[in-house]
């Protein structure tokens, strides 16, 4: 299970890449991007668009600059392993595998890859439960995870 130390460490990093940001402005991934962008230097990774929220995209994980501190993965689980393998090749030290109230990007194989390569992994949390300011909906989500004993400690 993910520790609160890992969550805080990830969110303390300045330069974070985000894979799986939708081109649809109403998609939840865009809300995550907008919130984290207020406190982080975000680098969106998208193979098909030139910009997200006015920020230029990088076409693939292997094209990211060398100074990336972590990568937030919001892809479908079918793409997650490939993204994590590319993050390993790029030497990215932290990986956050998103999971919100519904479907997420976590796969057992991706988590094992991170562990096997010494990468700090957050496996199945929503960053909006932790990134200030936390909105009421995300506080409720966090409370539910605490009741279910799936909230980081």
pLDDT in tens, 89-117: 999 999 999 997 667 999 999 999 999 99
Domain, as residue range, for 116: 4-147
Task: Give a yes or no: residue 68 inside a domain.
Answer: yes
The two tokens of residue 30 are 């865009």
Question: Is the pLDDT confidence value at 2 over 90?
Answer: no
Could you give the CA distance from residue 75 to residue 122 in angstroms, rounded to a whole number? Answer: 15
Task: Give a yes or no: residue 49 inside a domain.
Answer: yes
Task: Give a yes or no: residue 152 inside a domain.
Answer: no
Q: Which of 98, 88, 15, 96 is nearest to 55 (CA)?
A: 15
Task: Give a yes or no: residue 96 inside a domain.
Answer: yes
Task: Give a yes or no: residue 153 inside a domain.
Answer: no
Task: Give a yes or no: residue 31 inside a domain.
Answer: yes
Task: Give a yes or no: residue 109 inside a domain.
Answer: yes
Place of tokens 């992994």: 121
Could you give the CA distance from residue 56 to residue 51 in angstroms, rounded to a whole number? Answer: 4
Task: Considering only residues 68 and 3, tell me which one the structure prediction assigns the higher pLDDT.
Answer: 68
Query: What is the pTM for the complete model shown?
Result: 0.92
Work out how many domains the chain is built from and give that number. 1
Q: What is the pLDDT of residues 39-91, one digit of tens each?
A: 999 999 999 999 999 999 999 999 999 999 999 999 999 999 999 999 999 99
Q: What is the pLDDT of residues 8-22, one digit of tens each?
A: 999 999 999 999 999
Sign of CA dihedral 111, 15, 60, 37: positive
Q: What CATH number did the domain enclosing 36 receive?
A: 3.40.50.720
DSSP secondary structure letters along 45-103: E-SS-SEETTEEPBSSGGGS-TT--EEEE-S-HHHHHHHHHHHHHHT--EEEEEB-SS-
Task: Give a yes or no: residue 70 inside a domain.
Answer: yes
């Amino acid at each position: 299970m993910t520790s609160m130390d890992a969550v805080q460490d990830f969110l303390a990093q300045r330069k974070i890449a985000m894979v799986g940001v939708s081109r649809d402005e109403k998609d939840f991934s865009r809300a995550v991007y907008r919130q984290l962008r207020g406190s982080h230097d975000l680098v969106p990774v998208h193979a098909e668009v030139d910009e997200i929220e006015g920020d230029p995209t990088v076409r693939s994980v292997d094209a990211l600059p060398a100074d990336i501190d972590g990568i937030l993965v919001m892809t479908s689980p079918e793409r997650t392993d490939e993204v994590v393998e590319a993050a390993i090749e790029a030497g990215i030290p932290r990986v956050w595998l998103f999971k919100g109230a519904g479907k997420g990007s976590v796969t057992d194989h991706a988590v094992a890859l991170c562990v096997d390569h010494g990468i700090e992994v957050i496996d199945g949390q929503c960053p909006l439960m932790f990134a200030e300011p936390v909105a009421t909906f995300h506080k409720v989500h966090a409370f539910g995870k605490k009741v279910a004993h799936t909230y980081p400690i």
